[in-house]
Every structure is written in C-alpha cells, then in structure tokens.
Structure 1
Amino acid sequence: MNNMDIATIVVIAANILVSLKGFNDSYFFDRYKFGIGAIKAGQKERMLTSGFLHVDIAHLFFNMFTLYFFAPVVIRWFSEGKFIVIYFISLLAGSLLAVFFHKNEPYYTAVGASGAVTGILYSAILLQPNMQLGIMFIPIPLPAYILGIGYLLYSIYGMKSRLGNIGHTAHFGGAIGGYITTLLFMPSLLQTDTLMVFLLALPIVLLFILEKMGKL
C-alpha cells in the first residue's frame, strides 16, 4: 500500500467500503445497483453507485487487483486528478452504453467497477501499447494492444451471445470512455502513435457497425 498513489488507495477503499455494505445489506444493494427499470423511472444515480457495488469478494478482488496494476501507468503519464477523471468517465460511459443496449429490458441489472477499471486498462494500453502483458492459458507475454483489441472483440461476442453473467456492455463502454478521455488529455497521440490509435479504435467502430446492422 505504501507504494500506491493516494488516488488509487481512495478509489479502492471506496469500492471496498461500499461493496462490504452491499454484502451485508440487501436493501442497500438493491437500492443502488444498476437497473434499467429504476434508471428509466428517474433513479439516475444508480449509473454511478452501481460501479462501487460487487456481487462477492472474488468479483471485488479481481476488479481491484486489475486496477492496482494499471492505475500507476495512467497516473505516471498524467496525474492523480486526471486518473480520477478517466475512472469516473469510464464508469459512466459503461453505464450509458448498458442503458443504450438494454433500454428495452426493464429487468436488466448489473453491479461492479468493471467498466471504470476497463477504461483505466484501455487508457494504459493506449499510452503504452507495447508493454508486455501475461494472461492465463497463454504461456508467453503479448503486447498490450493485442490483448486490448482481443478483449473488446471478446466483449462484442459476449454481448451478442449473452455469454455468462458478465456485464460485457459496461466493459466495452468503459473502454470507450477511457480511450476517448485519454485522447482528449493527450491529443498528440494522434500524431505520435497514429497506428495504435487507429488499431485500438477498430473494435469500437465494429461495435457500432454491428449495432447499426441489427446484429447485436
């Protein structure tokens, strides 16, 4: 913990405290989770509060573990303040995309920081696309941009097939938020790393093409 930035500690602590409250208080959990019906009825705060609730300890740990590794990359390139901005924009972008894709499913619900964390992950990949990342079942590290693109393509497949009890839409929306906000903070990437900016945009473009064609 001593090597972690204050902003990262605050975000992780907030997730732990709110999640623990939700674990032990079903009314609290139900009141603040993401729910299409409730959001359309006016409880817009759920689009934010749901990002601090988790289903169980494993869900919470995985999200915070991922954040622990990638937050320092974003903070090192920008600042703690901009890291917080990217985190919350990614969280809200994930919720907005979920509302867009599930607007006709009043009983659709979700919780978790995955959208915000995916935004930080995608921001880190955009900033350092060639950093080597390992993944389970693959014996050798791969460049971050390959895993980033692959992850979003998998998310599209997950959205289309409703694969598992996972909020693929929020993950994808978070990645979009992280991608766009990073470019707003550092537009020079469009010139200095044009190819990577283009490659990392391909899954995002594909998502909306498929949606326009009615394939999702």
Structure 2
Amino acid sequence: MDLSITLIIIIITVAASFYAWNNQTIFQKWILNPYTVHRRKEYHRLITSGFIHNDYMHLLFNMLALYFFGELVEKTYIYTFGNLGIVLYIALYIVGIIASDLPTYLKHKNHAYYNSLGASGGVSAVVFSSILFYPTEKICVYFVFCLSSFIFGGLYILYSYIQAKKGGDYINHDAHLYGAVFGIVFSILIMPSVIVSFFEQVSNWRITDLF
C-alpha cells in the first residue's frame, strides 16, 4: 500500500520526536533557539525544530490536525496539479515551518534563553490552505464543538494574534499566526482562482449551516 505524503511526514515527525526525547544532545541541537541561530548561524534549526515536540500531547494534537487536514489538501493539490502537486504540498508544509519561525527568530534573536519547537507553523499552513479551498466544511474542536471552517479560521487568527501580544503562556502563538497567513498566501499564489471560489462558497453559506 502506498503511503501518502501526509502519512510519511507524520511518521518522520513522530520518529524524530521520540529520537530527540531519548537523546538530549540531539534535542538541544534541533530545537529553535533564535540566539544560537543568530550567533552561530545554525539555520538548520528553522527546519529541525518543526519535527520535534515538547511532549506526547503536543505531538498528538499537531499530528491529528495534520492527518485530518493534510490528506484533504494533498489530494486537492495532486488533483489540480498532478505530480507537481506533491512538490507544492511538501513546499507548503516545509516552507510553512520556516516562514512561521522567521518572525520568532527576529523577535528573540538576542534572547539567549528563548526556545521554540513543534510543527504548529507547518500544520497551520496546511489547515488554512484547507480552509481557503473548503471554507464551509465543518471543523470540530475536540470532536464536539463544530464550526464552518472560515469562521473557525477567523476566530483562530484573532485568538493567535491576541495571545501573541499577551504572551506568558509559553506557547509560540506567532508560529500559529504566521503559519496560517503563509498557508493562505501560498495557496492564492499557486491558484489565484481559489479567491473567487472561496467567496462564492462563503456567499452561499447561511446561518442555519452552523447547526
């Protein structure tokens, strides 16, 4: 059975996270420490930090989100672009990780004790690419509370922006926010017609679709 790109990414991420948990030297070499990136030019951390996680719940949440949304986006890209869609999907995810980390790097490059890790930026890019293509599909939080995806997306961006400004909860909300923005911009660049499709679908949405 052929594995999807999404499943391959999940397997690599799970394996990398477990490996890093059991090897603190690797963990410290892969985590995003903007100060070290700036001083020692260890730019690989902008990518490797996206493949390791803080704990089991952090890993599980990101990989579940990637599985549910990634499979859909991957199929959409391949259906639209053929084999090129595979390359574009990988670029969406990997560049999404880097793009979401860059603002954190610039913000904390002189803060020696700041660290960040996790696939949130890449996952957010995939999730918001999905929202752009399928804005009226339902997204269920904790499998119970469901909203149309474009409403969820708007609330998520607002929440991430407020929490990023507020700070203090040790979660890199900047990565969530910039990953989401990158996913939207990337999808529009490769398929400008998605803007028209998005607004057509939203215009046909009704308040009754909330229930």
Same fold (TM over 0.5): yes
**Percent of pairs identical after alignment?**
31
1:47 offset after TM fit, Å?
0.4
The alpha carbon displacement at 1:68 in A equals: 0.6
Q: For 2:174, which of 169, 172, 186 is the aligned residue?
A: 169
Q: Specify the alignment match of 1:54 in structure 2.
A: 53
1:157 equivalent to 2:162? Answer: yes
Superposed CA RMSD: 2.0
Residue 81 of structure 2 corresponds to which residue in structure 1? Answer: none
Q: Bigger CA drift: 99-108 or 162-171?
A: 99-108
The whole-number CA distance in structure 2 between the counterparts of 1:179 and 1:196 is 16
Partners of 1:84 and 1:192 in 2: how far apart? 23
Which residue, out of 185, 189, 208, partners 2:190?
185
Distance 2:168 2:149 in 1: 24
1:78 to 2:71 alignment: no
Give the Cα separation in 1 of the matches to 2:35 and 2:54.
20
Partner of 1:118: 124
Distance 1:139 1:65, change over 3 A: closer
State the alpha-carbon separation in 1 of the partners of residues 32 and 158 from structure 2: 24
Instruction: From the superposition, tell whether residues 139 and 21 of structure 1 become closer, same or farther in structure 2 (CA, over 3 Å).
Output: closer
Q: What amino acid is the match of 2:118?
A: G
What letter is aligned with 1:126? L
Q: Is the 8 A contact 1:33 1:49 kept in 2?
A: yes
Q: Residue in 2 aligned with 1:144?
A: 149
Partner amino acid, structure 2, of 1:75: E
Give deviations 1:117-168, integer Å, cap 9, x for gaps: 01100110011011011224x9652110111111111111111111422110
CA distance in structure 2 between the aligned counterparts of 1:111 and 1:155, rounded to whole angstroms: 17
Unaligned runs of 5+ residues in structure 2 are 79-85, 203-211
Q: Is the 8 A contact 1:101 1:169 kept in 2?
A: no
Q: How many residues align?
A: 194
Q: Is the 8 A contact 2:4 2:71 kept in 1?
A: no
Return 5+ residue gaps in structure 1 as ranges: 198-216
Instruction: Give distance in 1, aligned partners of 2:22 and 2:136.
Output: 42
Write the deviation string for residues 40-93 of structure 1: whole angstroms up to 9, x where unpaired. Answer: 011111000000011111111111011010012211211233221110111111
In the TM superposition, residue 172 of structure 1 has moved relative to its aligned partner by: 1.2
